[in-house]
Structure 1
Amino acid sequence: MHSTSLRISYTAKLPAVFLACALLSIASSVHAQRGAIRIMVEDAAEPWSYPDGSGYANEVVLAAFQAVDVPVKLEVVPYSRCKSQVLSAAVPACFSMGWLPEFNGVLRFSTKPLFKVNADVFEHVEHPIPRKLNAECKFEKDMRLGITRGYEYPEEILGLSKEGVVFVEAVTDQNSLKMLAAKRFSAAIIMTNDFEPKSRKIQLSDTGDKVRFAFNCGVQLGSIGFSLKHPQGITLLAKFESGFQKIEANGTLKKNQARWFDL
């Protein structure tokens, strides 16, 4: 109470010009927030993007736009919605996305990806995947593979459907591992990264010693996709490219990596 009284008394003695500047600064901040460009980000892809709006990829995107003075507001949504909204040009951008042929003429990705992920195969400890010599990423016909709804996967995974493999969707990677632990899947395709141990996803899914990493089945790049049909899409892409170059050159990108991954 005492310190508050002092602060009020001091403020009252400030010249009117300082008070005017302070009010102008607040008003400008509110205006900038209202005028921020809305882009979407997926809600369940740690460490890249968390449900609360934090995450490595989120910080990279915000830093890139900040570097070129472009105010953006992240709207955290399920990935399926993020993807559908940018494909329909309802929003100018969505991340993090992996390239698919169907995006040609509809989306354009940033030159450099936000990150790289591994499409890793996890198996049940009691029911390991039958292996043949020099034939990894091969599965028996009718095997049920858990994948995450709406995710893009590398060609090695997509081509498995021609071999008779059955893809079954789960809401998240963690949910897919839980289904594997319950023996509802023959295996699960889980996205991991080189900054964390593969056991991290097992810990997050609380599947203990029931599942384990089996082998890798390709690599996927995670990028920010910009709508070619949205009126702000192309301009926003150019701004992002410029901003990304700046944070890469001034060390902001490396600092971000070190903070998130203890490098």
Structure 2
Amino acid sequence: MKSVQVVTRWTLGALLCSTACWGSNKVLLCAEDDFYPYSAGQRGKSVGLTVELMRAAFTEAGLDVEFRPEPYNRCLESVKRGKYVATFDTAKTPDRKQDYLWSTRPLTHIRMLTWGPAGLPQKKIDYADLRGQRVGVAMGYEYPAELLNDRNIIKVHSQSEATNLRNVAAGRLAFTLVDARVAHILINKHDLADKVAHYGEISTLPIYAVFSLTHPQAETTLAHFERGWGKLRAKGGVKRIEDNWPTLSQASLTQLKVE
């Protein structure tokens, strides 16, 4: 009878674990595959700033973590359905706030810059300046409510932020909003340095780790993450990891005059 009980409990535990964990000390997460330098897939592996932050936090909690790179919207849906225990790089927008368990603190902050064609007058572009203009947004990505809720701003949807920047350079869009770190990478990759320019920081979005409301291990995994994140912050590990990743210099962000 004792051996039957052991087998039954092991089988039940394996079923509950599903694809989200690989044993008592390993966690499987869904990671966005196209958001470099935060989270991206390279040769089947996840790399990036927030990938490193997630790994470091779970390491502090005594857990190993494995990442499965997938498209962002698929990660969100898979976590919602309980296929994965968590994903990350998610902004707490009203339409998503009730869909997940959220980390207490953000992993980092997205610094949204307004990008337009090079050569415009050097003034900061704000939401009022975007009214009546064609502004590129990437489908499924989070943007400030001031942009999304303003019907006078013409939102043009595309598959990626790279597409939006290229369309600005080609004159098909007036502006787009892209994070400073992401833009730094995309502009160099697509040779856009002389074709687009930023016109100031328009918003800052905190991004979080989000955990499933339906996966049976989610609350426990979130508790492990919170404990590890606290240890990582206390020893200065969060700042050290952030400092290793490129961004536009603060000096370049303060050169624009506000009119």
Counterpart of 1:152, as a letter, is E
Query: Could you tell me the TM-score, scaled by structure 2's length?
Result: 0.76
Give the SS at the match of 1:61.
Answer: helix
Stretches of structure 2 that go unaligned for 5 or more consecutive residues are 1-20, 250-259
Match of 1:189 in 2: 177
Contact 2:101 2:213 in 1 (8 A): yes
Does 2:35 align with 1:45? yes
8 Å CA contact retained: 1:177, 1:188: yes
The 1:145–1:236 alpha-carbon spacing in structure 2 relative to 1, beyond 3 Å, is same
Q: 1:149 aligns with which of 122, 139, 164?
A: 139
Conserved 8 A contact 1:180-1:186: yes
Could you tell me which amino acid in structure 1 is paired with residue 47 of structure 2? Answer: S
What is the deviation of 1:135? 7.7
Q: How far apart are 1:246 and its partner, in Å?
A: 1.0
Distance 2:197 2:125 in 1: 19
C-alpha contact 2:61 2:227 (8 A) present in aligned 1:
yes
Query: What is the rounded CA distance, in whole Å, between the counterparts of 1:211 and 1:183 in structure 2?
Result: 10
Distance across 2 between alignment mates of 1:120 and 1:260: 18
What amino acid is the match of 2:155?
Answer: F
Q: Secondary structure of 1:118's match?
A: strand
Structure 1 CA distance for aligned equivalents of residues 200 and 241 of structure 2 = 29
In structure 1, the gaps of 5 or more residues are: 1-32
Note closer, same or farther for the CA distance 1:135–1:213 as it changes in structure 2 (3 Å cut): closer
**1:229 equivalent among 214, 218, 229:** 214
1:173 corresponds in structure 2 to 161
2:84 corresponding residue in structure 1? 91
Q: 1:87 to 1:34 in 2, by over 3 A?
A: closer
Question: Which residue does 2:111 correspond to in 1?
Answer: 118
When Rg is computed on C-alpha atoms for both structures, the one with the higher figure is 1
**8 Å contact kept, 1:174–1:204:** no
User: Helix, strand or coil: the match of 2:224?
Assistant: helix
On the 8 A contact 2:37/2:185 being kept in 1, the answer is no
Please point out which of 62, 66, 91 is paired with 2:59: 66
Greater shift, 240-249 or 202-211, is seen at 202-211
Shift of 1:199: 5.0
Secondary structure of 2:95's counterpart equals helix
- TM-score normalised by L of structure 1: 0.75
1:21-60 to structure 2, matched below 5 A, reads 34-35=22-23, 36-52=26-42, 53-60=46-53
Supply the distance in 2 between the matched residues of 1:140 and 1:76 (Cα, whole angstroms). 34
Q: What are the Cα deviations for residues 230-260 of structure 1, in whole angstroms up to 9, with x where unaligned?
A: 2122211111000001111233333323433
Count of aligned pairs: 222
Question: Which amino acid in 2 is paired with 1:255?
Answer: R
Whether contact under 8 Å (1:105, 1:228) holds in the other structure is no
- Contact 2:79-2:212 within 8 A present in 1 as well: yes
**Aligned mates of 2:176, 2:190 — CA distance in 1:** 13
Distance (Å, rounded) in 2 between the aligned partners of 1:93 and 1:246: 20
